[in-house]
Structure 1
Amino acid sequence: MSTLRNLVPSTHSLFVFEAAARTLSFKSAARELNVTQPSVSHSIKMFEKHCGLALFVRDNRGVQLTEAGRQLYEEVRTSFRRLEQRLEAISDRGTKYITFAASTSLAAHWLAPQLYHFQQEHPDVKIKVVATDRDIEPDHEVDVTVWVRPRDFDRANTWFVCNEVVFPVCSPAYLLSHPTLTSVDDLLQHQLIHSSDAFRKRLGWAEWMELAGGNSTEIRTNIVFNDYQLTFQAAIAGEGISLGWSLTAQHLLRNRLLVRPLPIEIKTDRAFFLLVSEDPVKNKRSKLLVDWFLAKTAELRS
């Protein structure tokens, strides 16, 4: 059991103290709390007696905090503010966010550079992006998310975004400063950037090379990242060639932060899907974001 109830005369005394300390006026605190000034003065005296120390210095000009009073006020003010924020967040009065859970690569290279367009179109809609290393079910905390599933995946509140298409990508600077690629096997003469995600199955270079008709036995795994977003970062920095995915690479390719050194691509038996919480209230709030996301990815479905 908390010992706080033994350290203060009552919870009401904390509210009286906070108001008096903030305004440095018993009269102002009384007006704010809708009580009389003598009531505030009495409550403060009882608080000081219970604590065994003076919290205010009283003189003809009003009241000032003692050093102990100042220290206590800082703690009370911070605690009140944190409690207020938490109560607002969990109540109907709190700010309503649409929470979008996404992989770090989708969050960093697709959502982050483009969400300001959505905000300009819908300034009253607030969005919280949650980067996650695994798939999350839409629920009471997550409104929208993206999964990669077999193309025949079907369930309520799900929208097909695009097929999973995988292809090599690199920076324009890397392409200009290295030998031109004319075949899949030419990739073996370049620095290939690998990723190995613990919770998401992704096509690796060896599997991609085999599907593309190349020789995967000579692939060197010199650079391996445990997060696919880091392979993008390395490719953008000109460190080598990474595999790119149709959705997550869309914005980077459109803005030529990455280019495709070969026209060859592998279309897997999987696709990207947008999932929304089954909560009717959340669905209503998320519909604008769903429509915007699908409009932004329309070219990937053509």
Structure 2
Amino acid sequence: MSKLRYMLPSTQSLFVFEAAARNLNFKLAAAELNVTQPSISHAIKALERHCNVDLFVRDNRGVQLTEAGRLLYDSVRSGFQRIEHSLKTITARDTQYITVAASTSLAAHWLVPKLPIFQQRHPGIKIKIVTTDRDVEPDHQVDMTIWLRPRNFERPNSWYMCEEVIYPVCTPSYLASAPPLKSVEDLARHQLIHSSDPHRKRMGWSEWLGIFGVASAEAEPDLVFNDYQLAIQAALAGEGVVLGWAITTHLLRRNRLLVRPLMEELTTENAFFVIANERSSKTEEMKLLVDWVVEEARAS
């Protein structure tokens, strides 16, 4: 039997010592362990009495490790790292993935093309993308998803990504062969593509045109799809003009696959948010992915 249990006042004292030694600050250690600063000082003093050695030098500038403290910290730090690695190994169920649910268009035209950047930075993090035609609640099967909600939306484990911005887009070849498109009113003479998702409310041509002062009857959609991704594919095929969401058409425009024939755009009262389940949001891997998604969305 290991004698370690008799050499410490408690196993918790090692966690307290490690946090205090790593931060060299009892207040920060207390905040990290969710305890009071006096309890940290008490635990360190108890450990020093038990070991009959000073582990910290205390002065007006804070605390520093003694030679004995540095020796113990090096051992505790490396020991914790080995234990953590072993626990991750034995508790892993095959390959562990972060499962991200998103609409087909958001996955195809924004998330997937950008993922190589994230994987180059963090090659050890495995990601599974699942597409869905409706907003799903993160649960034991879905770690993270992206919702469109009012800008003032708030809930635990949610992060603001970017505003909802909508404008017309089409291919350069369609624009070159179609009637002149110099103003919003000209859209009435063009082939308009519309999507009407059954589970996600999207702004349609009638609403968008009405905001810019054009009666919807003057520009009825010619092609209607029940999936925004199909509408985008029709536009890419040169079938006409579609309402494009900035986040999902950014890369298509950057690559000149789609262009904006007009500069009119609508910034709505909505925004895109990352939503994570409570369990996953506490992992370091998830924090890295969330930070990256938010960073990329705001740069788009």
Q: Which category of TM-score, normalised to the shorter sequence, fits these structures?
A: 0.5 to 0.7
Amino acid at match of 1:241: V
Q: Match for residue 194 of structure 2?
A: 194
Partner Cα separation in structure 1 for residue 144 and residue 251 of structure 2: 20
Q: Is the 8 A contact 1:277 1:283 kept in 2?
A: no
Deviates more, 1:197-206 or 1:266-275: 266-275
How far does residue 108 in structure 1 lie from its aligned partner after superposition?
1.1
What aligned pairs does 1:77-156 form with structure 2 within 5 A after superposition? 92-156=92-156
Q: Is the 8 A contact 2:206 2:220 kept in 1?
A: no
How far does residue 240 in structure 1 lie from its aligned partner after superposition?
0.5
Are residue 216 (structure 1) and residue 216 (structure 2) matched? yes
Q: Match for residue 180 of structure 2?
A: 180
Amino acid at match of 1:167: Y
How far does residue 282 in structure 1 lie from its aligned partner after superposition?
5.5
Q: Is the 8 A contact 1:148 1:271 kept in 2?
A: yes
Q: Match for residue 299 of structure 1?
A: 299
Q: Is the 8 A contact 1:212 1:265 kept in 2?
A: no
Q: Is the 8 A contact 2:189 2:219 kept in 1?
A: no
Partner Cα separation in structure 2 for residue 281 and residue 92 of structure 1: 18
Q: Deviations over 1:239-278 (max 9, x none)?
A: 1000011211122122221111100011111111111111
What aligned pairs does 1:1-302 form with structure 2 within 5 A after superposition? 92-279=92-279, 283-300=283-300
Over the residues paired in the alignment, what is the CA RMSD in angstroms? 1.5
How far does residue 281 in structure 1 lie from its aligned partner after superposition?
6.4
Amino acid at match of 2:238: G
Partner Cα separation in structure 2 for residue 94 and residue 182 of structure 1: 57
Q: Deviations over 1:60-79 (max 9, x none)?
A: xxxxxxxxxxxxxxxxxxxx
Amino acid at match of 1:97: Y
SS of structure 2 residue aligned to 1:139:
coil
SS of structure 2 residue aligned to 1:286:
helix
Q: Is the 8 A contact 1:185 1:215 kept in 2?
A: no
TM-score, normalised relative to structure 2: 0.67
Partner Cα separation in structure 2 for residue 94 and residue 234 of structure 1: 40
Q: Deviations over 1:118-177 (max 9, x none)?
A: 222211111100000000111111111110001100111111111111110111211122
Partner Cα separation in structure 2 for residue 124 and residue 223 of structure 1: 44
SS of structure 2 residue aligned to 1:124:
coil
Amino acid at match of 1:196: S
Partner Cα separation in structure 1 for residue 284 and residue 161 of structure 2: 19
Partner Cα separation in structure 1 for residue 264 and residue 110 of structure 2: 23
Q: Is the 8 A contact 1:143 1:282 kept in 2?
A: no
Q: Is the 8 A contact 2:164 2:267 kept in 1?
A: yes
SS of structure 2 residue aligned to 1:297:
helix
Partner Cα separation in structure 2 for residue 203 and residue 280 of structure 1: 32
Partner Cα separation in structure 2 for residue 290 and residue 205 of structure 1: 33
| Alpha carbons of structure 1 residues 215 and 278: separation in structure 2 relative to 1, 3 Å | same
How far does residue 299 in structure 1 lie from its aligned partner after superposition?
2.8
Partner Cα separation in structure 1 for residue 126 and residue 172 of structure 2: 35
Partner Cα separation in structure 2 for residue 178 and residue 282 of structure 1: 52
Larger Rg: 1
Amino acid at match of 2:168: P
TM-score, normalised relative to structure 1: 0.66
| Alpha carbons of structure 1 residues 281 and 146: separation in structure 2 relative to 1, 3 Å | closer
Partner Cα separation in structure 1 for residue 173 and residue 218 of structure 2: 25
| Alpha carbons of structure 1 residues 113 and 152: separation in structure 2 relative to 1, 3 Å | same
